[in-house]
Structure 1
Amino acid sequence: MDQDELHMNVRDDNVSEETKKLISSLQTDKDSKGKICKYQGCWYYYNTLQGVINFQKHFQPEDTDIVLASFPKSGTTWLKALSIALLERSKHDDPLTHPFLSDNPHGIVPFFEIDMYLKSSTPDLTKFSTSSPRLFSTHMPLHTVKEGLKGSPCKIVYLCRNAKDSLISRWYFRGKYQNKEVTRSILESMFESFCSGACFYGPIWDHALSYWRGSLENPNHVLFMRYEELKTEPCPQLKRLAEFLGCPFTKEEEDGGLVDKILDLCSLGNLSGLEVNKTGKNWMNMDYSNFFRKGEVGDWKNYLTPEMEKKLDMIIEDKLKGSGLRF
């Protein structure tokens, strides 16, 4: 069962009476999987919304915290691995001894709303007490995250990916955890929800815009990165990430080839081949292997019809008009 499935199959006792009352006042709809509600401009399954609210009310940020943000299926695993490798390199002489050799990046860097605060309104954060900075992740839009950060100057990194590739990745992801064939009918249903914006964490254009505008307003607080640039220009993008996180590469590290070593360590081929990612499972009993597929740019061309491409492109162009953002 994946994150989507977990949050769709909600028992009433998972959601507080206060949240049920809130949901009754919110706009509701159905995406391709189940009932969703719109909170602060973003669509959630009811259980996920409880995690969001728990985070906003109870999280106590530290100024040195780092939050890794993304829309689902936009390179989240890769961003987590790169960030871990960058920050851990000061603790290890050899980058090949990094902790994700024994745990998946999602096990090391938990999600606020679909991990920590989904399970409890007051999760135990003591395991983070020995690390500074603390690393967390989220799929929430920026304005919702900031409410939980309570004015903290902590750093936020957002990874943006082409919407069509994100959609295809989500389609395959669902097929993996359900052990079912990925069918055209499922894709078409997901496509319609995606285009309407009424899908889990949608609309994708509003999601990306929240972080885009945040990065323009305060570039020292929010870093906006693109999946496609990480693929085509990995070295300069990794150095850009390191600078933002406050751990820039030294000349000695660059001369020693550490940039390439970290990129190799965090590559799809290497991570997917690690034993922990071939046989391990997360706390929801979902195989870690589900998080690794192709990682290609433009794979959507193999699945979307020209009509589907044109429709989604026109919607996104209209929604992003005047913002300066393209994806």
Structure 2
Amino acid sequence: MENAEFPPRPPLFDFEGVSMSHYFTDNWENVQNFQARPDDILIATYPKAGTTWISYILDLLYFGQSDPERETSLRIYERVPFLESDFRVMPPGTELADKLTTSPRLIKTHLPVQLVPKSFWEQNCRVVYVGRNAKDNLVSFFHFDRMTMAEPEPGDWNHFFQRFMDGKMVFGPWYDHVTNWWEKKQTHSKIHYMLYEDMIEDFGQELDKLCSFLGLSPSVEEKARVMEGTQFDNMKNNSMTNYSNLPGMDFKVSPFMRKGKVGDWKDHFTVAQSEKFDEHYQKMMKNPDLQFRTVV
């Protein structure tokens, strides 16, 4: 399906206090009534914070050995359904999740913590959250919005920069998202909060911490396989993980997986924008315990 056949870009609107597009609210009743299972693992992120990376890491940890055919027969978005999505070009995320035969089921969401279906908390599910520094997250989101028809019109860089600071993004402000999920750890012990920058800097150490949280003890060979398979260039060139076969995305504008680096913001922000952003960040980031790095 060519992009021309994809519906026009959706408008942004306020939904329960959060900016949203209809692709994530059209199936809302089924999302809210979704029945989680105790062994489900919820992958939660703000958009463009390493979602596909952590999805593939978990998929390989659990099923890379026992079901290697998955890697070549099922795309990552079929293995790890996007819970609140209803893009019409495939079944809604709730339906895909309900049809999963794996145990555990790996399910991804971008929802702010307050909108997550309550059954995930009632079933005491494990959650893996990945946060990424705001400046790189903004840049990645900008290039993603340029290339996908499923997002509102991004406008130019300056416009998008301001919109991000104002929190007028699908799934709401970055600040609220990363902070509220961080604070949820106080009441829900089964949240493992990872930082994208830590994963880039010392992947082996972060993988060990993740396995410890999950209660997994992969062999040296299995860990090496996960590390190899989830290297950025390998995922970018893997048609099962790079989204190259999903309608509505224009890879001539930008690839879905672009750079996967820390510090790419320096190629986009002017000095004045960086200073403005830093000043705003100090006002918006209320929790001193949550520290992000913009360089590694």
Q: Measured at CA, do residues 311 and 7 of structure 1 come closer, stay the same or move farther in structure 2, by a change above 3 Å?
A: farther
Q: Measured at CA, do residues 194 and 124 of structure 1 come closer, stay the same or move farther in structure 2, by a change above 3 Å?
A: closer
- Specify the alignment match of 2:57 in structure 1: 82
Q: Which is richer in helix?
A: 1
Q: Secondary structure at the match of 2:124?
A: coil
**2:63 counterpart letter in structure 1:** E
Q: Measured at CA, do residues 116 and 110 of structure 1 come closer, stay the same or move farther in structure 2, by a change above 3 Å?
A: farther
Counterpart pick for 1:238 among 197, 207, 211: 207
- Specify the alignment match of 2:80 in structure 1: 109
**2:19 counterpart letter in structure 1:** W
- Specify the alignment match of 1:35 in structure 2: 12
- Specify the alignment match of 2:284 in structure 1: 319
Q: Measured at CA, do residues 98 and 204 of structure 1 come closer, stay the same or move farther in structure 2, by a change above 3 Å?
A: farther
| Structure 2: runs of 5 or more not aligned | none
Are 1:308 and 2:277 counterparts? no
Counterpart pick for 1:164 among 127, 135, 152: 135
Cα offset for 1:122? 6.6
Higher Rg: 1
CA contact under 8 A between 1:281 and 1:287: conserved in structure 2?
no
CA distance in 2, matches of 1:279, 1:307: 35
User: 1:273-284 maps to which residues of 2 (within 5 A)?
Assistant: 273-276=237-240, 280-282=244-246, 284=247
Q: Which has the higher contact order (CA 8 A, sep 6+)?
A: 2
Q: Secondary structure at the match of 1:55?
A: helix
Are 1:197 and 2:167 counterparts? yes
CA contact under 8 A between 1:163 and 1:204: conserved in structure 2?
yes
Counterpart pick for 2:157 among 187, 209, 215: 187
- Specify the alignment match of 1:262 in structure 2: 226
Q: Measured at CA, do residues 314 and 101 of structure 1 come closer, stay the same or move farther in structure 2, by a change above 3 Å?
A: farther
Cα offset for 1:89? 3.7
Q: Measured at CA, do residues 291 and 52 of structure 1 come closer, stay the same or move farther in structure 2, by a change above 3 Å?
A: farther
Q: Measured at CA, do residues 293 and 127 of structure 1 come closer, stay the same or move farther in structure 2, by a change above 3 Å?
A: same
Cα offset for 1:248? 2.8
Cα offset for 1:148? 4.9
- Paired residues in the alignment total 283
CA distance in 2, matches of 1:90, 1:76: 22
Cα offset for 1:308? 1.4
Q: What's the TM-score, normalizing by structure 1?
A: 0.76
RMSD of aligned Cα (Å): 3.0
User: 1:34-53 maps to which residues of 2 (within 5 A)?
Assistant: 34-39=11-16, 41-53=17-29
Are 1:174 and 2:145 counterparts? yes
State the percentage of identical aligned residues. Answer: 28
Q: Secondary structure at the match of 1:157?
A: strand
Cα offset for 1:155? 0.6
Cα offset for 1:165? 0.7
CA contact under 8 A between 1:194 and 1:202: conserved in structure 2?
no
Q: Measured at CA, do residues 223 and 150 of structure 1 come closer, stay the same or move farther in structure 2, by a change above 3 Å?
A: closer
Q: What's the TM-score, normalizing by structure 2?
A: 0.84
CA distance in 2, matches of 1:6, 1:110: 21
CA distance in 2, matches of 1:115, 1:259: 34
**2:14 counterpart letter in structure 1:** C
Regions of 4+ moved over 6 Å: none
- Specify the alignment match of 2:114 in structure 1: 143
- Specify the alignment match of 2:37 in structure 1: 62
Q: Which moved more, 1:193-202 or 1:284-293?
A: 284-293
CA distance in 1, matches of 2:225, 2:175: 34
CA distance in 2, matches of 1:7, 1:147: 32
CA contact under 8 A between 2:18 and 2:171: conserved in structure 1?
yes
Cα offset for 1:98? 5.6
Q: Measured at CA, do residues 233 and 87 of structure 1 come closer, stay the same or move farther in structure 2, by a change above 3 Å?
A: same
| Structure 1: runs of 5 or more not aligned | 10-33
Q: Secondary structure at the match of 2:111?
A: coil
CA distance in 1, matches of 2:34, 2:15: 22
CA distance in 2, matches of 1:61, 1:125: 9
